[in-house]
Amino acid sequence: MTSDLHIQFFGTSSAVPTKERGLSCLAVFFGNSMAFFDCGEGAQRSVIQAGLGFNKDCNIFVTHMHGDHVAGLLGILQTMAMNRREKQVGVFGPKKILEFIRESRDALNFGLTFDVLAKEVRPGLIYNEGSSKYRVYAEKSEHSDQSFAYVFEEKEKPGKFHPEKALKLGIPEGPLWSKLQHGEAVQSPKTGRPVKPEQIVEPPRKGRRIGISGDTRPTKLLESFFKGSDVLIFDSTYSDEHQANAVENLHSTSREAAALARKAKVRQLILTHFSARYRSVSHLVRQAREEFPHSIAAKDFLVYEVPERS
């Protein structure tokens, strides 16, 4: 049984798919909502193959407008329509995302059974619907086209309520407990004294954070952006022996991804976006672990459960 917050990868190759790896796509599942990050070609087939439905609350976040990250977006939307989806879908990405959706629909003359709310991304808070249990932030990454990294952040949780403390202070179980849990001070029926929430309820707990780099060189800006993330999913296109390629093509090596993860004090690093030249990525994982031991490689259909913070 999966956690209430988990990640599933649907494509982990860079630029060119392989027999084992599709093009960039992953989704974060949280309760009854899902958030896709990039939709490379064939994304909808992978999602169907994984046995997932298309009727959850859904937003799609695109890191940049390269084909291996966005060519599958129309397929995802069309597949949702074929499944008679009615709920609105939010699509967030660089400025060109608006033009891409509009012109593609016009050229292909396809209709949808739901509304698409497309928004241009700028650095900062980009998604924070009041009813949603999560928010999303964006920051600029360093790639050959306008590109963004994202942080998916669970909203703060209420602090732990201590019923034994409430009873000791003369507050019986019932409506007064609810008021205390919602931050209201109450009067004890037993003692007549005021009781404040902080006497019984612990401070709110910070939510879990998932960082998604997209395609990028490692930068100080991203190191700060991903600080303290529970999970960091980072561009690891190349191994050490192809460092020059990483610099030239504005990607990262697995070792560079791990060095950034260590400096950002993240809890877990997941390497992805591997060059198709590597039949095995075990040496990329080994190089990463020399910098940051808590490093693993993503593979298509991998499910990673994000544990609760202690």
Q: Give the DSSP H/E element, type plus range, for residue 211.
A: strand 209-212
Give the dihedral sign, CA 131/60/226/211. positive
What is the number of alpha carbons within 13 Å of residue 153 lying toward its C-beta?
Answer: 22
Q: Is-catalytic flag, 300?
A: no
What is the number of alpha carbons within 13 Å of residue 87 lying toward its C-beta?
Answer: 11
- Which contacts (CB < 8 Å, 24+ apart) does range 187-195 have? 193/169, 195/166, 195/169, 195/170, 195/171
Give residue 107's region: left, alpha or beta (phi > 0; psi -120 to 50): alpha
Residues linked to residue 161 through DSSP beta bridges, in sequence order = 201
Tokens of 279: 């039949």
> ∠ CA(4), CA(305), CA(67), 5° rounding?
105
Give the dihedral sign, CA 233/296/17/215. positive
Q: Which of 38, 68, 235, 300 is catalytic?
A: 68
| Rg (the chain; Cα; Å) | 22
Give the dihedral sign, CA 21/27/32/33. negative
CA distance 229 to 208: 7
What is the DSSP code string of 96-158? HHHHHHHHHHHHHT---SS-EEEEE--SEEEE--TT-SEEEEEEE-BSSSSBEEEEEEEPPBP
- What's the one-letter identity of residue 46? S
Collapsing DSSP to helix, strand or coil, 25 comes out as strand
Residues linked to residue 173 through DSSP beta bridges, in sequence order = none
- Among all residues, which ones are annotated catalytic? 68
